């Protein structure tokens, strides 16, 4: 299916209603799980989030990092991040307005799957990280229950009148995700998020949400993480 919108238009349209469901249930679970996987690398570091949106991940990272900054394509999303007091810039992941080696650590969640030129984006993110620093890059996993459900179901509404099929989206295997790393990057570990959870609405059911949250915490670093809906690949910059 051909995407209806470019990335900037898609996220600008989402911005007004983006946080309506983001502070509880499934989306809060995702944000918490993503940050939990890389919190050790963010602690005491200067951290950049590429694709920071309204600043919900930055808010979590700021609790442990020495300094946080963000970049995002959507001006509408960044308005809310600035209201939260974060230093953010409007920028494409393919052309970040930072000098080489500006950060200790860079993260990008729910973004790279929507960028066709993913190798260029990864190289650009690596450029702004100091040698010895790390990147945490999230990919949508082709070999997952989430990917199967997405392939079988009709388009779903997200926010602001857009649907999940309105924007370019790519699903990768772990080996494909690793192939996007350039010569300066060495993969050191990976995590899985949403290994078992079959449907987002279950995270609004009190008993089910506790069961799935506890299960996902255990499985994120287990062999079953290869089948998670989201793969977080951590790489070291040489």
Residue 129 maps to a domain? yes
DSSP H stretches of helix in 135-229: 145-152, 174-179, 206-219
In a domain, 170, yes or no: yes
Q: Is residue 12 part of a domain?
A: yes
What range defines the domain where residue 171 resides?
7-237
Where does residue 185 rank: exposed (0-12), middle (13-18), buried (19+ CB within 10 A)?
Answer: buried
How far is 164 from 118, CA to CA, in rounded Å? 19
Dihedral pair phi/psi, residue 232, rounded to 5° = -105, 110
Using a pLDDT cut of 70, give the percent of the chain over it: 99
**pLDDT tens profile 132-176:** 999 999 999 999 999 999 999 888 887 778 888 889 999 999 999
DSSP 110: S
Q: Is residue 214 part of a domain?
A: yes
Residue 1 in this model has a pLDDT that exceeds 60: no
- Facing residues of 234 across strands? 136, 189
Closest CA to 55 of 38, 72, 33, 37: 72
Name residue 70's beta-bridge partners. Answer: 49, 88
Does residue 135 lie within any of the structural domains? yes
Buried b / exposed e across 17-31, counting CB within 10 Å, b at 16+? ebbeebeebbbebbb
pLDDT of residue 44: 98
Residue in 179, 217, 181 with CA at minimum distance from that of residue 197: 217
- Which tens digit of pLDDT belongs to each residue from 40-69? 999 999 999 999 999 999 999 999 999 999
Cα-based torsion angle of the residue sequence 77, 83, 89, 94 in order, rounded to the nearest 10 degrees: -30
Closest CA to 174 of 142, 222, 135: 142
Whether the pTM exceeds 0.85: the reply is yes
Question: Does residue 2 belong to any structural domain of this protein?
Answer: no
Which two three-digit tokens encode residue 23? 């502070």
Contacts of 10 (CB under 8 A, 6+ apart): 162, 166, 167
- At a CB cut-off of 8 Å and minimum separation 6, what does 67 contact? 46, 47
* Integer-rounded Cα radius of gyration of the chain: 17
- Number of domains making up the chain: 1
CATH number at residue 68: 3.40.50.150
Average pLDDT, the chain: 94
Is 189 domain-assigned?
yes
Q: Strand 129-140 and strand 230-237: pairing?
A: antiparallel
User: Does 1 reside within a domain?
Assistant: no
């Amino acid at each position: 299916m051909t995407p209806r919108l470019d990335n900037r238009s898609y996220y600008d349209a989402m911005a007004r209603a983006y946080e309506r469901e983001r502070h509880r249930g499934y989306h809060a679970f995702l944000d918490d799980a993503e940050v939990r996987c890389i919190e050790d690398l963010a602690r005491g570091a200067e951290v950049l989030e590429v694709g920071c949106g309204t600043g919900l991940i930055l808010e979590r990272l700021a609790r442990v990092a020495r300094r946080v900054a963000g970049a995002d394509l959507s001006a509408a999303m960044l308005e809310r991040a600035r209201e939260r007091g974060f230093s953010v810039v409007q920028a494409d992941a393919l052309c970040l307005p930072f000098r080489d080696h500006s950060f200790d650590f860079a993260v990008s969640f729910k973004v790279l799957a929507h960028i066709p030129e993913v190798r260029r984006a990864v190289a650009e993110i690596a450029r702004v990280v100091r040698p010895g620093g790390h990147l945490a890059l999230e990919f949508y996993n082709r070999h997952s229950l989430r990917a199967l459900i997405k392939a079988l179901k009709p388009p779903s509404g997200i926010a602001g009148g857009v649907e999940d099929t309105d924007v370019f989206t790519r699903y990768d295997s772990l080996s494909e995700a690793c192939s996007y790393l350039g010569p300066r990057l060495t993969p050191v570990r990976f995590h899985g998020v949403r290994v078992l959870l079959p449907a987002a609405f279950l995270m609004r059911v009190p008993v089910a949400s506790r069961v799935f949250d506890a299960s996902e915490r255990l499985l994120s670093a287990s062999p079953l993480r290869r089948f998670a809906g989201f793969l977080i690949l951590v790489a070291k910059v040489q």
